[in-house]
């Protein structure tokens, strides 16, 4: 009896195998039965994933009763109008090309909220703010009356701001602010003037914070300025020359001109990690004409040492 049942099971398994293999293989490779024309056709699919998920999916305007992430299979080759809808989010729409045997993946759809999440991250009133690469977790805010600088964390849960400097009188035409790598000083410049502000530590008593403002006046318009990596020098680029300003103490300084330039509007980038200045300038070429070129000025400590070594070798 068992052997009979076993035989039946065996042959049923074989039949099942020969039925399932073509059905599953055809499905896997994207073949579908076109009931209207009674023939097998090769279809394509669209895979849709959105952030956030659970968005309703419409294909050619018809809701397909599925939400993202979803794979829409058995699609005849051609162009489809695909749209996603989610409550409180802007709808998304795109025309999608489906090819036979191919899958079209749309897995980077972002649905933006109609009611964006807005947080105030600062308790004080702010006229302007700067986020410096030297201190990316904080915003340096200028008070509404432009007399003080606060520092506040870029986290709405920590709204506390610390006063870094007050009794200032910041002009309206400031071109740029820059924080020193040691986070203890800020300079700003406008016209031919650059001011260095020594910041108070967060622990300092607010009563002790006073205007530590030391102006540097140059003969020419300041185009750009950069902190040197040691936080004790500033590279100043005017429309006539490049100067290096040394902060000796809070009331003493030292300034040298290291290069004259011809470009009235030079573009500049300072690589603080290597202390190299890249800038444009106009120089006379071998053809006697003026050419605007890109230059590299290495003022790193390492290059200065190499330079001395080269001189010593020449003397020998």
Partner 1 sequence: MKEDFDLSKRAFEIIPAFISWSILLIFVLFAFLRPKVYALLIITFDIFWVIRVSYLTSLLSFAHHRLNKEKNKKWLSLCMKLSDPRSQKIYQAVIFPVYKEGLDVLVSSLDSLKNTNYPKEKMIVVLAFEDRIRDSREKAKVLESRYKDSFFAYLSTFHPDGIAGEARTKGANATWAAKILKDFVDSKGIKYEDVIVSCFDADTCVEKEYFGCLLYHYLTVYKPLQCSYQPIPVYNNNIWYAPSFARVIEIAASYCQLIDSMRLEKFVTFSSHSMSFKTLIDVDYWPVDKVSDDSLIYWKAYIYYNGDYRVVPMYITVSMDVAYGRNLLQTFFVQYKQKRRWAWGIEVFPYVMLNFKENKLIPLEKKLRKTFHILDSHISWATWAIILTVISPLMMLFSSYLFKGTVIGFNLPRITGVLFSLTNITVLLWMALSLTLLPPKPKELKFRARIKIVTQWLLVPIIMTIIGSTPALDAQTRLALGKYMGFSYTEKKRNRF
* Contacting range for partner 1; rule: CB under 8 A; set: 27-35, 57-65, 216-224, 235-243: 27-35
Nearest to 149 by CA among 94, 229, 212: 212
* Binding pattern for the stretch 33-52 against partner 1, x by CB under 8 A and - elsewhere: ----------xxx-x-----
Smallest distance, partner 1 to C-beta of residue 109, A: 17
* Binding pattern for the stretch 88-127 against partner 1, x by CB under 8 A and - elsewhere: -------------xxxxx----------------------
Residue of 71, 94, 113, 125 interacting with partner 1 (CB under 8 A): 71
Smallest distance, partner 1 to C-beta of residue 41, A: 12
Tell me how far apart the alpha carbons of residues 36 and 290 are, in angstroms, rounded to a whole number: 76
Is residue 286 near partner 1 by the rule CB under 8 A?
no
> Which one, 71 or 113, has the nearer CB to partner 1?
71
Residues 6+ apart with CB under 8 A from 203: none
Residue of 4, 25, 97, 243 interacting with partner 1 (CB under 8 A): 25
Q: 265-270, long-range: CB within 8 Å, 24+ apart, which pairs?
A: 265/223, 265/239, 266/223, 266/224, 266/237, 266/239, 268/223, 268/224, 268/226, 268/237, 270/224, 270/226, 270/235
3-state SS assignment for residue 156: coil
> Which one, 100 or 257, has the nearer CB to partner 1?
100
Is residue 258 near partner 1 by the rule CB under 8 A?
no
> Which one, 42 or 159, has the nearer CB to partner 1?
42
Give the pairing of strands 92-98 and 126-130. Answer: unpaired
Give the pairing of strands 290-298 and 276-284. Answer: antiparallel
Residues 6+ apart with CB under 8 A from 302: none
> Which one, 19 or 290, has the nearer CB to partner 1?
19
Residues 6+ apart with CB under 8 A from 232: 246, 247
Smallest distance, partner 1 to C-beta of residue 56, A: 22
Tell me how far apart the alpha carbons of residues 31 and 77 are, in angstroms, rounded to a whole number: 12
> Which one, 30 or 266, has the nearer CB to partner 1?
30
Smallest distance, partner 1 to C-beta of residue 14, A: 8
Smallest distance, partner 1 to C-beta of residue 307, A: 51
**Torsion angle of alpha carbons 159, 175, 215, 168, nearest 10°?**
-30
> Which one, 83 or 100, has the nearer CB to partner 1?
100
Binding site for partner 1 (CB under 8 A): 2-3, 5-6, 9-10, 13, 16-17, 20-21, 24-25, 27-30, 43-45, 47, 71, 73, 101-105
């Amino acid at each position: 009896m068992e052997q009979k049942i076993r035989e039946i099971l065996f042959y049923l398994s074989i039949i099942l195998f020969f039925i399932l293999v073509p059905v599953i293989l055809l499905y896997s490779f994207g073949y579908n039965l076109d009931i209207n024309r009674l023939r097998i056709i090769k279809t394509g699919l669209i895979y849709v994933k959105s952030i956030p998920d659970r968005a309703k999916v419409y294909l050619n305007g018809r809701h397909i009763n599925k939400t993202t992430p979803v794979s829409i299979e058995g699609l005849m080759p051609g162009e489809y109008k695909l749209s996603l809808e989610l409550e409180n989010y802007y709808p998304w729409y795109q025309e999608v090309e489906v090819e036979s045997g191919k899958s079209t993946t749309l897995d980077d759809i972002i649905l933006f909220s109609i009611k964006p999440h807005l947080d105030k991250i600062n308790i004080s009133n702010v006229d302007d703010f700067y986020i410096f690469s030297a201190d990316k977790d904080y915003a340096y805010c200028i008070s509404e009356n432009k007399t003080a600088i606060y520092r506040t964390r870029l986290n709405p849960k920590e709204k506390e701001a610390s006063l870094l400097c007050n009794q200032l009188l910041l002009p309206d035409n400031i071109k740029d602010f820059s924080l020193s790598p040691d986070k203890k000083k800020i300079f700003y410049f406008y016209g031919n003037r650059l001011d260095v502000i020594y910041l108070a530590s967060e622990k300092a008593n607010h009563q002790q914070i006073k205007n530590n403002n030391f102006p540097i006046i140059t003969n020419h318009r300041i185009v750009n300025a950069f902190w040197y990596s040691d936080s004790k020098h500033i590279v100043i680029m005017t429309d006539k020359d490049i100067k290096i300003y040394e902060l000796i103490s809070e009331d003493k300084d030292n300034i040298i001109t290291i290069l004259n330039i011809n470009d009235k509007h030079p573009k500049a980038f300072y690589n603080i990690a290597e202390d190299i200045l890249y800038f444009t300038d106009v120089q006379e070429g071998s053809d006697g004409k003026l050419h605007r070129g890109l230059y590299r000025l290495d003022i790193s400590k390492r290059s200065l040492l190499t330079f001395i070594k080269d001189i010593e070798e020449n003397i020998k």
